[in-house]
A and B are shown apart, each in its own frame.
Chain A
Amino acid sequence: MSRIRLEVLQWYALIGGALAWTTEHVLGYFVSDGGCSRQVAHAGLWGGLLVGFAAAAVAAAEAAAITVYRSTSSAAHDAPGPDGRLHFFAVAALVGNVLFLMLVGLDGLGSLSHLPCVQS
């Protein structure tokens, strides 16, 4: 695999899942909160779509992490850069994206399993 492709995959693996969750979380908050006034119609649908897209993006980030991890498996995690760094961040992203998947999943589960706009 080319160096540039690896670089792109590694950075996507490291921050793609994080950004996907951030987007889903912040927009999801505004949709669920704004859905209770006149501004947002179909809040539930929007929320569901957000969760779906974010979950796909996080899954792709995990796949990228696996790819980079396999391609650099010969490097120890303190090998010199860029190989060592690629491998190091791939390991980190492997764990990180599992967490982001959990986050997106729980966001979806929690917000979609209750009626909207009912005071807690």
Chain B
Amino acid sequence: MTKSLRRALPLVGAGALVCLASGCGGNQDTVAPASPQEHSITKLFWVMLGGSTVGFALVVALLWLGYARRTRPGLPRNVGDRGATRLVVGLGIALPIALLIALFVWSDVFVITSTAAPGRSSTSLAVDVIGHDWWWEVRYPGTQVVTANEIHIPVRTRVYISASTADVIHSFWIPELNRKIDMIPGQTGHIVLDADRAGVFRGQCSEFCGLQHAHMAVSVVVQSTQAFHRWLDANSRPASSSEPGEQAFLGAGCGECHQIRGTAAQGDVGPDLTHLELRSTLAALTLANTPANLDRWIRHPQAIKPGSRMPDVRLSDADWAAIDAYLRSLR
């Protein structure tokens, strides 16, 4: 069993490497870079992985040598205690010191400059991201646009992200675009997002933030500049719905927590719903935004996301249907 295991391991390892390099995961893959920043991090990783593999192989080879020559004292070529001590000094002190200094200079002096917080003037668009238990508020300073869990940015544009929190510590991280930045009460962190291709990139809160830490995801939608501006325009308008469900919505108390611009709903506990139907997911990427899911989510939030701030509310089926229709008209 152990022999076959030993033979299988390199295969599994190699398979995993190929898989990693080709981006076999979803769209939350650290080593599938889609920005200059993430490219530099990924390069750093592959080089370190290469060096580590050589080092690991050396150690395993020495262990194997010890086993293979277990009946013979001493090292090959009659290297004795003195020679072995020199090897310890060379391999255990001199060589690692040289390699570590090189790594330090490369990563912590040079690479770090590309992933560090950008100067505001080096960017051409600003987005504020605010972490909440357990969703993301997204604002575009200078516009009316407020949305949630879905950040739209134009491709090949340096975007200045300001990350802060409304409650506990969260961490903003889009693995394919850049490093993460913690959202800590009392301070604002900054990173740059600079996608070099269009697409949807998923991210997830990466600082433990309580019950629904697992269901606090966000997606970054990278689009052409024109498409982005169309989206921004659409989102900056107040709600214009002719559906009668607005009264049912307000009557059920939803407006205490949610804002719908242009209506009496002005809450700030949950996400802004002004253009809910323009978003592709619900509950911070927990569900796809389909009519069925929307209905299920507003009726049974505690079953889908236990502990969420959104309460289970008892209403008549007619009211639910009216609210469903109203929410689906918010586009």
A and B touch in the complex (CB under 8 A): yes
A residues at B contact (CB < 8 Å): 95, 98-99, 102, 106, 109-110, 113-114, 118-120
**Which range contains the number of B residues in contact with the other chain?**
10 to 19
Q: With the chains together, A98 CA to B94 CA distance in Å? A: 10
Q: With the chains together, A68 CA to B264 CA distance in Å? A: 83
> Is the beta-carbon distance between A102 and B105 smaller than 8 angstroms?
no
Tell me which residues across on chain A come within 8 A of B189, comparing CB atoms.
119
Extra pairs beyond A98-B93, A109-B105, A119-B190 (5, CB < 8 Å): A98-B97, A110-B108, A113-B109, A114-B113, A119-B116
> Is the beta-carbon distance between B93 and A95 smaller than 8 angstroms?
yes
| Top 10 closest pairs, chain A to chain B, by CB | A119-B117, A113-B109, A120-B116, A106-B104, A110-B108, A102-B97, A119-B190, A95-B93, A119-B189, A118-B117
Tell me which residues across on chain A come within 8 A of B190, comparing CB atoms.
119
Q: With the chains together, A120 CA to B111 CA distance in Å? A: 11
Contact partner of A110 (CB less than 8 A), chosen from B100, B109, B113, B117, is: B109
B104 and chain A: residue at smallest CB distance: A106
Tell me which residues across on chain A come within 8 A of B93, comparing CB atoms.
95, 98
Expressed in whole angstroms, the minimum distance between the Cβ of B114 and any Cβ of chain A is 12
Query: Is B91 interfacial (CB-CB < 8 Å)?
Result: no
> Is the beta-carbon distance between A118 and B109 smaller than 8 angstroms?
no
Query: Is B5 interfacial (CB-CB < 8 Å)?
Result: no
A95 and chain B: residue at smallest CB distance: B93
Tell me which residues across on chain A come within 8 A of B117, comparing CB atoms.
118-120
Interface SS of chain B = helix
Q: With the chains together, A99 CA to B97 CA distance in Å? A: 8
B188 and chain A: residue at smallest CB distance: A119
Tell me which residues across on chain B come within 8 A of A102, comparing CB atoms.
97, 100-101
Q: With the chains together, A102 CA to B103 CA distance in Å? A: 13
Chain B 171-206 near chain A by CB (<8 Å), digits 1 or 0: 000000000000000000110000000000000000
Contact partner of B109 (CB less than 8 A), chosen from A98, A109, A119, is: A109
Q: With the chains together, A37 CA to B112 CA distance in Å? A: 23
Q: With the chains together, A113 CA to B109 CA distance in Å? A: 7
Expressed in whole angstroms, the minimum distance between the Cβ of B164 and any Cβ of chain A is 13
Tell me which residues across on chain B come within 8 A of A99, comparing CB atoms.
97
Tell me which residues across on chain A come within 8 A of B116, comparing CB atoms.
118-120
B116 and chain A: residue at smallest CB distance: A120
Q: With the chains together, A102 CA to B93 CA distance in Å? A: 11
Q: With the chains together, A92 CA to B204 CA distance in Å? A: 47
Expressed in whole angstroms, the minimum distance between the Cβ of A83 and any Cβ of chain B is 20
> Is the beta-carbon distance between A106 and B112 smaller than 8 angstroms?
no
B191 and chain A: residue at smallest CB distance: A119
Expressed in whole angstroms, the minimum distance between the Cβ of A66 and any Cβ of chain B is 15
